[in-house]
Chains A and B, each alone.
Chain A
């Protein structure tokens, strides 16, 4: 649905389906647009079941930011149930070059990248400006300043990776959501040892995972924050590879700073892990 200008009583209320979108709208919207989470803090977007009060939230929106690539499949049924099928959709993924997903279709984690996020933030600012032309310049300026800050995070990580012998580093991740991030750092993911996150492995799957890590001669494995500790410890002990943890920025509190903070943590974890793996055993 195209984003047509809307009549605004005061501040634009923009629904968001994912934590990164909350941060983006908050930073771009300033005082003219506020981000409204559709998924309550602490709920998992992968298994979200809307409650009546969540439908009431949707009813109050002027627009909604959607991933549209499989990360927020709960949205359309919610809009239908709330009688808001015609709610303007902001689709920052439009025109973003996407990686293929592990199970077909597109990799929906395009928000886990500074460059792809920057493109989406710019797109978001334009779409907000179309909805609310009075504040179009504000959105554009805010997006520009935000992208500049994000870019400095990437620049810092690239600087710290400078001169590393990456041929000594073989990387695996526990799911394919981080492909965008590794790509912009010039790093190759040699193996994805678990295609779906949030899935508790059986003992057999765990043994299989360890075998795959060994077979791929991986010496650096990126797991996820929140993954079962015993699972991670077993992999580390049995495979002998270094472990670092990443976050795909889901669950927990919604804050304007969350995306920057978590992406910095991800970049730091990657640089630290690569440095350690490159240095040898």
Chain B
């Protein structure tokens, strides 16, 4: 599968590094399912690109330290998933680029190698992607306490009273922890995954996550065999804090007997009541 970014280059026309930024953007769009945002049009009218920028992770490509594309993204209130600055790439790769606005071999090679690296990084993320759960919809109900926001997905998710969730598609399940857990733990720094192939009983331990405050054992809502773990969490466990229901998923299992397991699980309404009670009783 190929990369899927919304790409916002600076498109700087008066420097070679701006032209290289454009070249990188075009290369990425050509070789993947990424889409291009025209910075000039975006500045004056964001309607055309707002949906794209919301649906795909945003890659900003600046030519130089003026960082026009980064500034534009900030002005429009966009969350930047990844950033490239061509002058930094030149320095880090120890290459020489000319001043001409027409790109020569050296500049094209640089652009090409940046695109290659971006495509490789995306492949690495996708290898941690496990099964494609195409039917999950993320529609959240919110409960607020003081300045803390607790989200609970309204449909498709089941929960146990240990604040762990599961989504099921056919015979496959994906498991993670609820917002209450990541708020309570604060910055999660360590992830101990379960072993691939491990047989897990319902309410058995499915790995653990740890912050400076506490260690939390992930209690599996379902019984099954572990088929995948979210490897991204090993180097970036903070993904659980960022979004525990989407990129912060923990593990996937092949189910043993979901119909029986389901009897002991809560749907959205049941869990939301449990959540409210916990939040009101305990200061997070």
Are both chains from one complex?
A: no
Residues of A within 8 A of B (CB): none
